[in-house]
Amino acid sequence: MSRIYLTLVLIWVGFPVIFAQEPPKQKEPHEVAAEEAVRMEKELELTPDQVFYVDSVLQYNYAGLKEEFDSMSGSGMQDARNYETVRDKWIQKNLDAFKKILSDQQYIKYLKMIGRGKEYKKGKDGLYYKKEIRKKGTQ
């Protein structure tokens, strides 16, 4: 009986503490952009100029994405497909900008990082090639 009582007391004392904690704060677009730029700098071996441009593109596009999402949620839109369409639009804007900033090999590595670029395969020399081109060259 005392064990049940002790458990109930602990739950009662701990209950307000659990709900008093604030949920983790959502990061601002510029914070997410900076983190992503640092990650890309390491993964893609970007030059300082490229890091500057990538960070600028990401900050602008992430802010635009957040603004569009906020506008959609403010108007009561709840359909996930609409949000996916908007997200895809902004991802495409990133891809279009990065195509101009990155070298071909860096761009392909970026595609691989985000789960795209399945049509490319890494060759023995460490460079990426389109799969059908590599197959034709080996026959």
Q: Which amino acid is at 62?
A: Y
pLDDT value of residue 57: 96
Phi, psi (deg, nearest 5) at residue 137: -70, -20
**Residue 16 pLDDT:** 54
For 89-123, the pLDDT digits (tens) are 999 999 999 999 999 999 999 999 999 888 999 88
pLDDT in tens, 49-71: 999 999 999 999 999 999 999 99
pLDDT of residue 79: 83
pLDDT at 12 (0 to 100)? 54
* Amino acid 117: pLDDT: 87
Helices (H), the chain: 2-20, 29-44, 48-74, 80-101, 104-113, 131-138
* Interatomic CA distance for residues 106 and 4, integer angstroms: 62
Share of the chain above pLDDT 90, in %: 55
Whole-number pLDDT of residue 136: 53
d(CA 125, CA 122): 8
